[in-house]
Structure 1
Protein backbone atom coordinates (compact mmCIF):
# COMPACT_ATOMS: atom_id res chain seq x y z
CA UNK A 1 0.00 0.00 0.00
CA UNK A 2 1.50 3.39 -0.96
CA UNK A 3 2.42 5.83 1.80
CA UNK A 4 -0.18 8.49 2.61
CA UNK A 5 0.99 12.09 2.78
CA UNK A 6 -0.60 15.32 3.90
CA UNK A 7 -2.88 16.61 1.16
CA UNK A 8 -1.18 19.21 -1.02
CA UNK A 9 -3.35 19.03 -4.11
CA UNK A 10 -4.30 21.56 -6.70
CA UNK A 11 -6.51 24.51 -5.80
CA UNK A 12 -9.85 23.57 -7.32
CA UNK A 13 -12.62 26.18 -7.13
CA UNK A 14 -15.16 23.75 -8.59
CA UNK A 15 -14.28 20.79 -6.34
CA UNK A 16 -17.59 21.02 -4.39
CA UNK A 17 -19.51 20.99 -7.67
CA UNK A 18 -17.58 17.96 -8.90
CA UNK A 19 -18.30 16.25 -5.59
CA UNK A 20 -22.01 16.92 -5.98
CA UNK A 21 -21.79 15.49 -9.50
CA UNK A 22 -20.38 12.27 -8.07
CA UNK A 23 -23.16 12.07 -5.50
CA UNK A 24 -25.70 12.64 -8.26
CA UNK A 25 -24.14 9.85 -10.30
CA UNK A 26 -24.32 7.44 -7.37
CA UNK A 27 -27.95 8.37 -6.74
CA UNK A 28 -28.91 7.87 -10.39
CA UNK A 29 -27.30 4.44 -10.77
CA UNK A 30 -28.97 3.27 -7.57
CA UNK A 31 -32.31 4.69 -8.77
CA UNK A 32 -31.94 2.91 -12.11
CA UNK A 33 -31.43 -0.41 -10.37
CA UNK A 34 -34.33 0.22 -8.00
CA UNK A 35 -36.50 0.60 -11.09
CA UNK A 36 -35.22 -2.41 -13.07
CA UNK A 37 -34.63 -5.03 -10.39
CA UNK A 38 -38.16 -4.95 -8.90
CA UNK A 39 -39.48 -5.04 -12.48
CA UNK A 40 -37.71 -8.38 -12.93
CA UNK A 41 -34.53 -7.60 -14.90
CA UNK A 42 -33.08 -11.07 -15.68
CA UNK A 43 -29.65 -12.01 -14.39
CA UNK A 44 -26.89 -13.14 -16.79
CA UNK A 45 -27.51 -16.72 -17.80
CA UNK A 46 -31.30 -16.50 -17.43
CA UNK A 47 -33.51 -18.55 -19.77
CA UNK A 48 -34.32 -16.76 -23.00
CA UNK A 49 -38.04 -17.13 -22.28
CA UNK A 50 -37.68 -15.07 -19.10
CA UNK A 51 -35.60 -12.52 -20.99
CA UNK A 52 -38.21 -12.12 -23.74
CA UNK A 53 -41.00 -11.82 -21.17
CA UNK A 54 -39.21 -9.07 -19.28
CA UNK A 55 -38.37 -6.96 -22.32
CA UNK A 56 -41.87 -7.39 -23.75
CA UNK A 57 -43.71 -6.51 -20.54
CA UNK A 58 -41.45 -3.99 -18.81
CA UNK A 59 -40.87 -1.36 -21.48
CA UNK A 60 -42.06 1.42 -19.19
CA UNK A 61 -39.56 0.60 -16.45
CA UNK A 62 -36.82 0.06 -19.01
CA UNK A 63 -37.54 3.39 -20.69
CA UNK A 64 -37.52 5.26 -17.38
CA UNK A 65 -34.24 3.70 -16.24
CA UNK A 66 -32.65 4.31 -19.65
CA UNK A 67 -33.70 7.97 -19.55
CA UNK A 68 -31.62 8.45 -16.39
CA UNK A 69 -28.41 7.08 -17.85
CA UNK A 70 -27.28 10.02 -20.05
CA UNK A 71 -27.41 12.26 -16.97
CA UNK A 72 -25.46 9.65 -15.00
CA UNK A 73 -22.70 9.47 -17.63
CA UNK A 74 -22.29 13.24 -17.68
CA UNK A 75 -22.12 13.39 -13.89
CA UNK A 76 -19.58 10.56 -13.64
CA UNK A 77 -17.34 12.28 -16.21
CA UNK A 78 -17.53 15.52 -14.19
CA UNK A 79 -16.66 13.62 -11.02
CA UNK A 80 -13.64 11.98 -12.66
CA UNK A 81 -12.44 15.25 -14.14
CA UNK A 82 -12.83 16.95 -10.77
CA UNK A 83 -10.81 14.26 -9.00
CA UNK A 84 -8.01 14.66 -11.55
CA UNK A 85 -8.01 18.42 -11.11
CA UNK A 86 -7.79 18.13 -7.32
CA UNK A 87 -5.00 15.51 -7.47
CA UNK A 88 -3.07 16.91 -10.40
CA UNK A 89 -0.38 18.92 -8.59
CA UNK A 90 0.45 16.03 -6.29
CA UNK A 91 0.58 13.63 -9.26
CA UNK A 92 2.75 16.00 -11.27
CA UNK A 93 5.21 16.55 -8.43
CA UNK A 94 5.60 12.79 -7.91
CA UNK A 95 5.66 12.00 -11.62
CA UNK A 96 2.60 9.80 -11.09
CA UNK A 97 -0.41 9.14 -13.26
CA UNK A 98 -2.82 7.18 -11.06
CA UNK A 99 -5.51 9.84 -11.28
CA UNK A 100 -5.32 9.87 -15.08
CA UNK A 101 -5.59 6.08 -15.13
CA UNK A 102 -8.65 6.32 -12.90
CA UNK A 103 -10.23 8.95 -15.15
CA UNK A 104 -9.60 6.72 -18.16
CA UNK A 105 -11.48 3.97 -16.33
CA UNK A 106 -14.42 6.31 -15.69
CA UNK A 107 -14.65 7.24 -19.38
CA UNK A 108 -14.27 3.64 -20.57
CA UNK A 109 -16.96 2.55 -18.12
CA UNK A 110 -19.30 5.16 -19.57
CA UNK A 111 -18.61 3.90 -23.09
CA UNK A 112 -19.13 0.25 -22.13
CA UNK A 113 -22.37 0.92 -20.31
CA UNK A 114 -23.65 2.91 -23.26
CA UNK A 115 -23.46 -0.37 -25.14
CA UNK A 116 -25.27 -2.20 -22.32
CA UNK A 117 -28.17 0.26 -22.31
CA UNK A 118 -28.33 0.28 -26.13
CA UNK A 119 -28.57 -3.52 -26.14
CA UNK A 120 -31.41 -3.41 -23.59
CA UNK A 121 -33.33 -0.99 -25.77
CA UNK A 122 -32.65 -3.18 -28.81
CA UNK A 123 -33.98 -6.22 -26.95
CA UNK A 124 -37.16 -4.34 -26.08
CA UNK A 125 -37.65 -3.64 -29.80
CA UNK A 126 -36.80 -7.19 -30.98
CA UNK A 127 -39.68 -9.68 -30.97
CA UNK A 128 -37.63 -12.35 -32.78
CA UNK A 129 -36.36 -14.85 -30.22
CA UNK A 130 -33.36 -15.93 -32.31
CA UNK A 131 -32.13 -12.35 -32.64
CA UNK A 132 -32.86 -11.68 -28.97
CA UNK A 133 -30.74 -14.66 -27.94
CA UNK A 134 -27.66 -13.15 -29.59
CA UNK A 135 -28.37 -9.66 -28.25
CA UNK A 136 -28.84 -10.97 -24.72
CA UNK A 137 -25.57 -12.93 -24.84
CA UNK A 138 -23.74 -9.80 -26.03
CA UNK A 139 -25.43 -7.73 -23.30
CA UNK A 140 -24.33 -10.15 -20.58
CA UNK A 141 -20.74 -10.30 -21.83
CA UNK A 142 -20.40 -6.52 -22.07
CA UNK A 143 -22.12 -5.97 -18.72
CA UNK A 144 -19.74 -8.35 -16.92
CA UNK A 145 -16.58 -7.25 -18.74
CA UNK A 146 -17.39 -3.67 -17.75
CA UNK A 147 -16.01 -4.59 -14.34
CA UNK A 148 -12.55 -4.17 -15.86
CA UNK A 149 -13.09 -0.43 -16.36
CA UNK A 150 -14.71 0.04 -12.96
CA UNK A 151 -11.68 -1.69 -11.44
CA UNK A 152 -9.35 0.68 -13.31
CA UNK A 153 -11.29 3.73 -12.07
CA UNK A 154 -11.30 2.46 -8.49
CA UNK A 155 -7.61 1.58 -8.47
CA UNK A 156 -6.39 4.76 -10.12
CA UNK A 157 -8.41 7.23 -8.07
CA UNK A 158 -7.89 5.28 -4.82
CA UNK A 159 -4.10 5.13 -5.10
CA UNK A 160 -3.90 8.68 -6.43
CA UNK A 161 -6.09 9.96 -3.62
CA UNK A 162 -4.15 8.07 -0.94
CA UNK A 163 -0.74 9.18 -2.16
CA UNK A 164 -1.93 12.80 -2.28
CA UNK A 165 -3.40 12.54 1.23
CA UNK A 166 -6.90 13.33 -0.05
CA UNK A 167 -8.54 10.11 1.17
CA UNK A 168 -7.76 7.94 4.23
CA UNK A 169 -6.21 4.50 4.02
CA UNK A 170 -9.50 2.69 4.80
CA UNK A 171 -11.15 4.39 1.83
CA UNK A 172 -8.32 3.32 -0.45
CA UNK A 173 -8.64 -0.26 0.82
CA UNK A 174 -12.37 -0.15 0.17
CA UNK A 175 -11.70 0.93 -3.42
CA UNK A 176 -9.05 -1.72 -3.99
CA UNK A 177 -11.29 -4.44 -2.53
CA UNK A 178 -14.11 -3.41 -4.85
CA UNK A 179 -11.66 -3.32 -7.79
CA UNK A 180 -10.44 -6.85 -7.02
CA UNK A 181 -13.99 -8.23 -6.93
CA UNK A 182 -15.04 -6.47 -10.13
CA UNK A 183 -11.89 -7.47 -11.98
CA UNK A 184 -12.28 -11.04 -10.77
CA UNK A 185 -15.85 -11.04 -12.05
CA UNK A 186 -14.69 -9.71 -15.43
CA UNK A 187 -12.08 -12.46 -15.80
CA UNK A 188 -14.75 -15.08 -15.05
CA UNK A 189 -17.16 -13.69 -17.67
CA UNK A 190 -17.48 -16.94 -19.72
CA UNK A 191 -18.66 -18.88 -16.66
CA UNK A 192 -20.82 -16.12 -15.19
CA UNK A 193 -22.83 -15.58 -18.36
CA UNK A 194 -23.22 -19.30 -18.99
CA UNK A 195 -25.68 -19.86 -16.15
CA UNK A 196 -26.88 -18.13 -12.96
CA UNK A 197 -24.79 -19.04 -9.94
CA UNK A 198 -22.74 -17.81 -6.99
CA UNK A 199 -19.98 -16.43 -9.21
CA UNK A 200 -22.28 -13.56 -10.12
CA UNK A 201 -22.12 -12.41 -6.48
CA UNK A 202 -18.52 -11.27 -7.04
CA UNK A 203 -19.65 -8.50 -9.36
CA UNK A 204 -22.67 -7.64 -7.20
CA UNK A 205 -20.64 -7.20 -4.01
CA UNK A 206 -17.96 -5.31 -5.94
CA UNK A 207 -20.62 -3.00 -7.40
CA UNK A 208 -22.14 -2.28 -3.98
CA UNK A 209 -18.69 -1.40 -2.62
CA UNK A 210 -18.14 0.80 -5.68
CA UNK A 211 -21.30 2.79 -4.91
CA UNK A 212 -20.17 3.34 -1.30
CA UNK A 213 -16.65 4.25 -2.48
CA UNK A 214 -17.82 6.86 -5.00
CA UNK A 215 -20.31 8.36 -2.53
CA UNK A 216 -17.59 8.83 0.11
CA UNK A 217 -15.10 10.14 -2.47
CA UNK A 218 -17.71 12.59 -3.73
CA UNK A 219 -18.42 13.81 -0.20
CA UNK A 220 -14.69 14.38 0.25
CA UNK A 221 -14.63 16.60 -2.83
CA UNK A 222 -17.91 18.34 -1.94
CA UNK A 223 -16.64 19.27 1.53
CA UNK A 224 -13.48 20.91 0.24
CA UNK A 225 -13.83 24.70 0.51
CA UNK A 226 -13.96 26.42 -2.83
CA UNK A 227 -10.91 28.52 -3.63
CA UNK A 228 -11.59 32.27 -3.78
CA UNK A 229 -12.07 33.70 -7.24
CA UNK A 230 -9.16 35.85 -8.48
CA UNK A 231 -9.67 39.62 -8.34
Structure 2
Protein backbone atom coordinates (compact mmCIF):
# COMPACT_ATOMS: atom_id res chain seq x y z
CA UNK A 1 0.00 0.00 0.00
CA UNK A 2 1.08 3.55 -0.56
CA UNK A 3 2.63 5.06 2.57
CA UNK A 4 1.59 8.30 4.22
CA UNK A 5 4.07 11.11 3.64
CA UNK A 6 5.61 13.46 6.13
CA UNK A 7 6.88 15.63 3.24
CA UNK A 8 6.56 19.38 2.98
CA UNK A 9 4.18 21.53 0.99
CA UNK A 10 6.40 22.16 -2.02
CA UNK A 11 4.53 22.21 -5.30
CA UNK A 12 5.80 18.87 -6.56
CA UNK A 13 5.02 16.99 -9.75
CA UNK A 14 2.05 15.15 -8.24
CA UNK A 15 0.44 18.41 -7.17
CA UNK A 16 0.99 19.96 -10.59
CA UNK A 17 -0.61 16.99 -12.29
CA UNK A 18 -3.46 16.96 -9.78
CA UNK A 19 -4.15 20.60 -10.61
CA UNK A 20 -3.97 19.60 -14.29
CA UNK A 21 -6.71 17.03 -13.66
CA UNK A 22 -8.93 19.70 -12.11
CA UNK A 23 -8.12 22.05 -14.99
CA UNK A 24 -8.99 19.34 -17.51
CA UNK A 25 -12.33 18.68 -15.84
CA UNK A 26 -13.10 22.38 -15.69
CA UNK A 27 -12.13 22.92 -19.32
CA UNK A 28 -14.31 20.15 -20.75
CA UNK A 29 -17.26 21.22 -18.60
CA UNK A 30 -16.80 24.84 -19.73
CA UNK A 31 -16.61 23.82 -23.40
CA UNK A 32 -19.87 21.93 -23.06
CA UNK A 33 -21.44 24.80 -21.11
CA UNK A 34 -20.71 26.99 -24.13
CA UNK A 35 -21.84 24.57 -26.84
CA UNK A 36 -24.91 22.89 -25.39
CA UNK A 37 -26.95 25.99 -24.44
CA UNK A 38 -26.10 27.43 -27.86
CA UNK A 39 -27.92 24.50 -29.48
CA UNK A 40 -25.26 21.90 -30.32
CA UNK A 41 -27.19 19.13 -32.12
CA UNK A 42 -27.50 15.82 -30.30
CA UNK A 43 -26.02 12.62 -31.69
CA UNK A 44 -28.21 11.44 -34.56
CA UNK A 45 -29.72 14.87 -35.21
CA UNK A 46 -31.26 15.61 -38.62
CA UNK A 47 -29.07 17.38 -41.14
CA UNK A 48 -31.32 20.43 -41.12
CA UNK A 49 -30.60 20.99 -37.44
CA UNK A 50 -26.89 20.50 -38.10
CA UNK A 51 -26.96 23.06 -40.92
CA UNK A 52 -28.83 25.55 -38.76
CA UNK A 53 -26.36 25.31 -35.87
CA UNK A 54 -23.02 25.15 -37.65
CA UNK A 55 -24.11 27.63 -40.30
CA UNK A 56 -25.02 30.32 -37.76
CA UNK A 57 -23.00 29.58 -34.62
CA UNK A 58 -19.50 29.34 -36.00
CA UNK A 59 -18.35 31.81 -33.35
CA UNK A 60 -19.53 29.52 -30.57
CA UNK A 61 -17.83 26.52 -32.18
CA UNK A 62 -14.60 28.51 -32.51
CA UNK A 63 -14.62 29.63 -28.86
CA UNK A 64 -15.31 26.14 -27.52
CA UNK A 65 -12.73 24.60 -29.86
CA UNK A 66 -10.09 27.05 -28.65
CA UNK A 67 -10.33 25.46 -25.19
CA UNK A 68 -9.61 21.94 -26.35
CA UNK A 69 -5.82 22.08 -26.94
CA UNK A 70 -5.44 23.07 -23.29
CA UNK A 71 -7.72 20.21 -22.30
CA UNK A 72 -5.58 17.66 -24.16
CA UNK A 73 -2.40 19.02 -22.61
CA UNK A 74 -3.92 18.93 -19.12
CA UNK A 75 -5.27 15.40 -19.63
CA UNK A 76 -1.81 14.19 -20.62
CA UNK A 77 -0.25 15.84 -17.57
CA UNK A 78 -2.86 14.22 -15.35
CA UNK A 79 -2.15 10.81 -16.86
CA UNK A 80 1.59 11.24 -16.41
CA UNK A 81 1.06 12.15 -12.76
CA UNK A 82 -1.14 9.14 -12.11
CA UNK A 83 1.35 6.79 -13.80
CA UNK A 84 4.24 8.33 -11.88
CA UNK A 85 2.42 7.75 -8.59
CA UNK A 86 1.51 4.15 -9.40
CA UNK A 87 4.39 2.63 -11.37
CA UNK A 88 6.68 1.86 -8.41
CA UNK A 89 3.91 -0.19 -6.86
CA UNK A 90 3.18 -1.94 -10.15
CA UNK A 91 6.78 -2.76 -11.08
CA UNK A 92 7.14 -4.95 -8.02
CA UNK A 93 4.08 -6.93 -9.05
CA UNK A 94 4.65 -7.12 -12.80
CA UNK A 95 1.48 -5.11 -13.52
CA UNK A 96 0.73 -2.27 -15.92
CA UNK A 97 -2.83 -1.15 -15.23
CA UNK A 98 -1.74 2.48 -15.04
CA UNK A 99 -0.14 2.26 -18.50
CA UNK A 100 -3.42 0.89 -19.84
CA UNK A 101 -5.13 3.94 -18.37
CA UNK A 102 -2.59 6.35 -19.84
CA UNK A 103 -3.03 4.71 -23.25
CA UNK A 104 -6.76 5.31 -23.00
CA UNK A 105 -6.19 8.99 -22.21
CA UNK A 106 -3.83 9.36 -25.17
CA UNK A 107 -6.26 7.67 -27.56
CA UNK A 108 -9.18 9.79 -26.39
CA UNK A 109 -7.09 12.90 -27.02
CA UNK A 110 -6.44 11.78 -30.60
CA UNK A 111 -10.06 10.79 -31.21
CA UNK A 112 -11.48 13.99 -29.82
CA UNK A 113 -9.01 16.03 -31.84
CA UNK A 114 -10.69 14.49 -34.90
CA UNK A 115 -14.14 15.36 -33.46
CA UNK A 116 -13.15 19.02 -32.98
CA UNK A 117 -11.58 19.17 -36.44
CA UNK A 118 -14.84 17.90 -37.95
CA UNK A 119 -16.86 20.52 -36.02
CA UNK A 120 -14.63 23.26 -37.40
CA UNK A 121 -14.97 21.79 -40.90
CA UNK A 122 -18.76 21.76 -40.52
CA UNK A 123 -18.81 25.51 -39.96
CA UNK A 124 -17.27 25.84 -43.42
CA UNK A 125 -19.28 23.20 -45.30
CA UNK A 126 -22.63 24.42 -43.95
CA UNK A 127 -21.83 28.01 -44.94
CA UNK A 128 -21.08 26.80 -48.47
CA UNK A 129 -24.05 24.39 -48.52
CA UNK A 130 -21.63 21.60 -49.37
CA UNK A 131 -22.98 18.05 -49.80
CA UNK A 132 -20.11 16.91 -47.60
CA UNK A 133 -21.96 18.13 -44.50
CA UNK A 134 -24.05 14.99 -44.10
CA UNK A 135 -21.08 12.66 -44.29
CA UNK A 136 -19.05 14.81 -41.90
CA UNK A 137 -21.85 14.81 -39.34
CA UNK A 138 -22.23 11.03 -39.41
CA UNK A 139 -18.46 10.68 -39.01
CA UNK A 140 -18.57 13.16 -36.13
CA UNK A 141 -21.29 11.17 -34.34
CA UNK A 142 -19.48 7.87 -34.86
CA UNK A 143 -16.16 9.16 -33.49
CA UNK A 144 -17.87 10.99 -30.63
CA UNK A 145 -19.68 7.84 -29.49
CA UNK A 146 -16.85 5.38 -30.14
CA UNK A 147 -14.58 7.59 -28.03
CA UNK A 148 -16.31 6.00 -25.06
CA UNK A 149 -14.08 2.97 -25.66
CA UNK A 150 -10.94 4.98 -24.92
CA UNK A 151 -12.50 6.76 -21.94
CA UNK A 152 -13.39 3.30 -20.60
CA UNK A 153 -9.76 2.18 -21.01
CA UNK A 154 -8.57 5.21 -19.04
CA UNK A 155 -11.14 4.65 -16.31
CA UNK A 156 -10.49 0.92 -15.97
CA UNK A 157 -6.70 1.19 -16.03
CA UNK A 158 -6.32 4.03 -13.54
CA UNK A 159 -9.17 2.85 -11.31
CA UNK A 160 -7.83 -0.71 -10.97
CA UNK A 161 -4.27 0.57 -10.50
CA UNK A 162 -5.38 3.12 -7.92
CA UNK A 163 -7.42 0.57 -5.98
CA UNK A 164 -4.67 -2.06 -5.96
CA UNK A 165 -2.08 0.50 -4.80
CA UNK A 166 -4.40 1.93 -2.14
CA UNK A 167 -4.21 5.36 -3.74
CA UNK A 168 -7.95 5.84 -4.22
CA UNK A 169 -10.97 4.97 -2.10
CA UNK A 170 -13.32 2.10 -3.04
CA UNK A 171 -16.15 4.54 -3.85
CA UNK A 172 -13.86 6.37 -6.26
CA UNK A 173 -12.86 3.16 -7.98
CA UNK A 174 -16.50 2.11 -8.20
CA UNK A 175 -17.45 5.40 -9.86
CA UNK A 176 -14.69 4.85 -12.40
CA UNK A 177 -15.66 1.27 -13.21
CA UNK A 178 -19.38 2.03 -13.50
CA UNK A 179 -18.59 5.00 -15.74
CA UNK A 180 -16.37 2.75 -17.86
CA UNK A 181 -19.19 0.22 -18.25
CA UNK A 182 -21.66 2.91 -19.33
CA UNK A 183 -19.27 4.51 -21.81
CA UNK A 184 -18.20 1.17 -23.26
CA UNK A 185 -21.84 0.14 -23.55
CA UNK A 186 -22.62 3.36 -25.42
CA UNK A 187 -19.64 2.80 -27.75
CA UNK A 188 -20.72 -0.79 -28.41
CA UNK A 189 -24.20 0.43 -29.36
CA UNK A 190 -22.87 3.21 -31.61
CA UNK A 191 -25.03 2.34 -34.67
CA UNK A 192 -28.19 2.36 -32.53
CA UNK A 193 -27.18 5.54 -30.68
CA UNK A 194 -26.65 7.32 -34.00
CA UNK A 195 -29.81 6.06 -35.71
CA UNK A 196 -32.22 6.28 -32.79
CA UNK A 197 -32.23 9.46 -30.71
CA UNK A 198 -33.63 8.67 -27.29
CA UNK A 199 -32.75 6.94 -24.01
CA UNK A 200 -29.73 5.12 -25.43
CA UNK A 201 -27.92 8.45 -25.55
CA UNK A 202 -28.28 8.68 -21.77
CA UNK A 203 -25.77 5.84 -21.36
CA UNK A 204 -22.98 8.01 -22.68
CA UNK A 205 -24.21 11.14 -20.90
CA UNK A 206 -24.38 9.54 -17.45
CA UNK A 207 -21.05 7.82 -18.06
CA UNK A 208 -19.48 11.13 -19.07
CA UNK A 209 -20.78 12.94 -15.98
CA UNK A 210 -19.36 10.18 -13.78
CA UNK A 211 -16.07 10.47 -15.71
CA UNK A 212 -15.87 14.16 -14.75
CA UNK A 213 -16.51 13.35 -11.06
CA UNK A 214 -13.85 10.62 -11.23
CA UNK A 215 -11.28 13.01 -12.74
CA UNK A 216 -11.93 15.64 -10.07
CA UNK A 217 -11.54 13.07 -7.29
CA UNK A 218 -8.31 11.76 -8.85
CA UNK A 219 -7.01 15.31 -9.15
CA UNK A 220 -7.63 15.95 -5.45
CA UNK A 221 -5.85 12.67 -4.64
CA UNK A 222 -2.78 13.68 -6.66
CA UNK A 223 -2.71 17.14 -5.11
CA UNK A 224 -2.58 15.53 -1.67
CA UNK A 225 0.09 13.07 -2.76
CA UNK A 226 3.59 13.74 -1.44
CA UNK A 227 6.80 12.04 -2.38
CA UNK A 228 9.17 11.08 0.39
CA UNK A 229 12.11 13.43 0.29
CA UNK A 230 14.36 10.49 1.04
CA UNK A 231 15.73 9.41 -2.37
CA UNK A 232 16.13 5.89 -1.04
CA UNK A 233 12.38 5.57 -0.45
CA UNK A 234 10.95 2.51 -2.13
CA UNK A 235 7.68 3.94 -3.39
CA UNK A 236 5.29 6.83 -3.59
CA UNK A 237 3.35 8.10 -0.62
CA UNK A 238 -0.08 9.57 -0.28
CA UNK A 239 -2.61 11.21 1.96
CA UNK A 240 -5.72 9.36 0.97
CA UNK A 241 -9.00 11.16 0.54
CA UNK A 242 -10.87 11.47 3.78
- Residue aligning to 2:171: 170
1: CA distance between counterparts of 2:226 and 2:88?
A: 17
User: Which whole-Å CA distance do the structure 1 matches of 2:227 and 2:25 have between them?
Assistant: 22
2:64 and 2:196 mapped to 1: Cα distance?
A: 25
What is the match of residue 119 of structure 1? 118
- Cα distance in 1 for residues equivalent to 2:135 and 2:228: 52
Q: Distance in 2 between matches of 1:107 and 1:132?
A: 28
Unaligned runs of 5+ in 1: 1-5
Shift of 1:196: 1.1
- Residue 228 of structure 1 deviates from its aligned partner by 4.1
TM-fit CA distance, 1:195: 2.8
Shift of 1:227: 4.8
Distance across 1 between alignment mates of 2:25 and 2:229: 28
Shift of 1:13: 3.7
Q: Which residue of 2 aligns with 1:101?
A: 100
1:189 aligned partner: 190
Residue aligning to 1:66? 65
Q: CA RMSD in A?
A: 1.8
Which SS does the other structure have where 1:197 is aligned?
A: coil
Say which SS state the counterpart of residue 94 (structure 1) adopts: coil
2:156 corresponds to? 155
Structure 1 length-normalised TM = 0.93
**In the TM superposition, what whole-angstrom CA distance separates every residue of 1:89-129 from its partner, at most 9, and x where no partner exists?**
00101111000000000000000000000000000010335
Where does residue 7 of structure 1 map in the other structure? Answer: 2
- Residues 46 and 195 in structure 1, CA contact (< 8 A), matched pair in contact too: no
Residue 45 of structure 1 pairs with residue 44 of structure 2: yes
Deviations 1:55-113 (A, max 9, x none): 01111111000000000000000000110000010010111100000000000000000
Structure 2 gaps of 5+ residues are 232-242
TM-score normalized by the length of structure 2: 0.89
Measured against aligned partners, the alpha-carbon deviations of 1:191-221 in whole angstroms (never above 9, x if no partner) come to: 1011311100000000000000000000100
- Distance in 2 (CA, whole Å) between partners of 1:217 and 1:160 is 12
Offset, 1:41: 0.2
